């Protein structure tokens, strides 16, 4: 009898652990393997997709080294959506691999570590063909003083190139040196080594050095959007006619919150340099590279009633409507998408009037690095019910004011769509109540009750079941004279 009782207790205990474990796993992790037929200059791509319930967390992700491939770039993007009233966040972490040779390359089974969880992948082959002439050396960027995209970069690094130790230097560069409050600018920390460098060097404890350095590079008066670099990104580029290998350690876009000057302090990176002794042995010596102090000037936006609220940057608008003609009382779905290099994209609250009823929008947002800056996209999907007949231009309702950094003026993105409405006028709480309507009093109804969530229901039921089983376990363990 005792043996049976302990068996029941052990079963309940392990069942409880399984239930609580399943309850705690509120994220979904998957691995996406990219195209397996590529050319010599195309990257082979591995992408980890992490979905979270609630606010997104930044996952720790370590990709493996693959034979016959070299790691060549790492990126991260996040997106947000609402499903049944619940926030869902998705984080995509992408690692690019550059093939080292042409042919059929075998990739053995490997693991990707995400938040201390190993994702396994079976082995496969990648076919690599010869690159066309147009694709030759796409990773080598010729950066010269005449290149507009890198003018600020060159101006900030000319002295480093000239005074480089052993044809190598560490630099903290920015794509803008003067900007408006709220305008994004990108900062990059990288180490450069010229191809004709004759000194043997290696990095020293970068896993400790780089996090300490990046902590010093985060100004307090800025909003940060990190590019999510966790390992050095290696690439090649040409600086003033000389080819360098770039080791990018940190990159982020910052948005100043006030007009105070932004100061990035000088930071140091220690390496190990090897010299040859008298007997031919290698002698390690420490060598330190430093960046210069980097100052960014900020200036206030021109006066405007929305000066404290507008986004700052270069934006575009896309829109789509599922019906251009509709009867009163019927719903139409309208979607508006705003994309640009700024942050804090918000639409003003839509208020019902005697022409339309607007339901709260479904909102999806994403942010991802592109061409050295962070691009943000926000999509609003509205459900609209017209109440009067006529032809209506939607720009009266859907317009968004921002500060355009290209023109240095306030600008407005407006809807270009029109909606043709036919049918009888519908009276609601927003119009004179001379006619009884099915919409009357809709605003006064309690809408605070959350929609049914089947997953939450199962978790609640599991918790009740666990509680009952624990009570039963206590009952079994308590001494009972009558049973004896």
86: helix, coil or strand? strand
299: helix, coil or strand? strand
- Total residue count of the chain as it appears in this document: 484
CA–CA distance, 428 with 188 (Å, rounded to integer): 56
**For every one of its 484 residues, what pLDDT tens digit does the chain have, with 9 covering 90 and above?**
455 555 555 555 544 444 444 333 456 888 888 888 888 878 888 988 888 776 656 677 888 989 999 887 666 767 666 655 667 777 778 888 888 899 999 999 999 988 888 888 889 999 998 876 544 444 455 444 333 334 344 444 555 555 565 588 999 999 998 999 999 999 999 999 888 877 888 888 888 899 999 999 999 999 998 887 877 887 878 887 888 888 899 999 999 999 999 999 999 999 988 888 888 788 889 999 999 999 999 999 999 999 999 999 999 999 999 999 999 999 999 999 999 999 889 998 899 999 999 999 998 888 888 888 889 999 999 999 999 999 999 999 999 999 999 999 999 999 999 999 999 988 765 544 333 333 444 444 444 444 444 455 556 666 777 778 777 776 776 665 454 4
Handedness of CA 58, 370, 147, 248 (dihedral sign): positive
pTM of the model: 0.64
Domain boundaries, the chain: 26-138, 140-300, 313-444
- CATH, domain 26-138, list 2.60.40, 2.40.50, 1.10.10, 1.10.30: 2.60.40
Q: What is the DSSP string of 228-287?
A: ---SPEEEEEEETTEEEEEEEEEEEEEEESSSSPEEEPP-EEEEEEEEE-TTS-EEEEEE
Torsion of CA 140, 143, 148, 154, to 10 degrees: 140
Task: Compute how many other C-beta atoms are within 10 angstroms of the C-beta atom of residue 26.
Answer: 12
């Amino acid at each position: 009898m005792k043996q049976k009782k302990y068996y029941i207790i052990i079963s309940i205990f392990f069942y409880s652990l399984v239930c609580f474990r399943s309850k705690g796993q509120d994220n979904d992790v998957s691995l996406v393997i990219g195209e397996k037929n590529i050319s010599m200059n195309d990257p082979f791509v591995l992408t980890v997709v992490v979905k979270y319930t609630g606010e997104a967390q930044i996952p720790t992700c370590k990709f493996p080294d693959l034979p016959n491939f070299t790691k060549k770039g790492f990126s991260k993007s996040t997106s947000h959506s609402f499903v049944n009233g619940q926030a869902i966040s998705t984080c995509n972490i992408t690692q690019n691999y550059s093939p080292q040779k042409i042919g059929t390359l075998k990739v053995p089974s490997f693991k990707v570590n995400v938040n201390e969880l190993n994702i396994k992948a079976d082995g496969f082959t990648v076919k690599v063909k010869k690159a066309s002439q147009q694709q030759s050396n796409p990773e080598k960027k010729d950066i010269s003083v005449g290149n507009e995209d890198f003018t600020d970069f060159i101006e900030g690094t000319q002295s480093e190139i000239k005074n480089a130790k052993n044809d190598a230097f560490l630099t903290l560069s920015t794509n803008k040196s003067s900007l408006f409050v709220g305008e994004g600018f990108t900062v990059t920390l990288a180490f450069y080594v010229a191809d004709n460098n004759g000194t043997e060097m290696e990095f020293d404890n970068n896993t400790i050095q780089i996090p300490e350095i990046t902590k010093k590079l985060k100004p307090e008066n800025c909003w940060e959007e990190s590019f999510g670099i966790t390992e050095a990104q290696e690439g090649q580029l040409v600086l003033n006619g000389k080819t360098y290998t770039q080791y990018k350690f940190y990159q982020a876009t910052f948005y100043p919150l006030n007009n105070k000057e932004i100061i990035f302090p000088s930071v140091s990176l220690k390496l190990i340099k090897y010299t040859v002794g008298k007997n031919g042995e290698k002698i390690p010596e420490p060598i330190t590279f430093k960046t210069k102090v980097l100052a960014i000037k900020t200036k206030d936006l021109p006066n405007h009633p929305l000066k404290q609220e507008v986004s700052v940057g270069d934006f575009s608008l896309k829109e789509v409507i599922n019906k251009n003609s509709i009867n009163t009382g019927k719903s139409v779905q309208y979607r508006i998408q705003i994309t640009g290099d700024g942050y804090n994209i918000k639409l003003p609250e839509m208020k019902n009037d005697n022409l339309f009823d607007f339901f709260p929008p479904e909102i999806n947002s994403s942010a991802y690095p592109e061409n050295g800056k962070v691009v943000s996209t926000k999509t609003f999907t509205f459900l609209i019910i017209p109440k009067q007949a006529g032809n209506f231009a939607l720009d009266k309702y859907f317009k968004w004011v921002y500060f355009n950094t290209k023109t240095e003026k306030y600008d407005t993105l407006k809807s270009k769509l029109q909606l043709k409405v036919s049918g009888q006028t519908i009276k609601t709480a927003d119009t004179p109540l001379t006619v009884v309507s099915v919409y009357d009093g809709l605003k006064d109804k309690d809408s605070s009750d959350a929609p049914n969530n089947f997953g939450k229901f199962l978790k609640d039921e599991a918790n009740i079941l666990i509680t009952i089983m624990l009570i039963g376990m206590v009952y079994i363990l308590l001494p009972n004279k009558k049973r004896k």
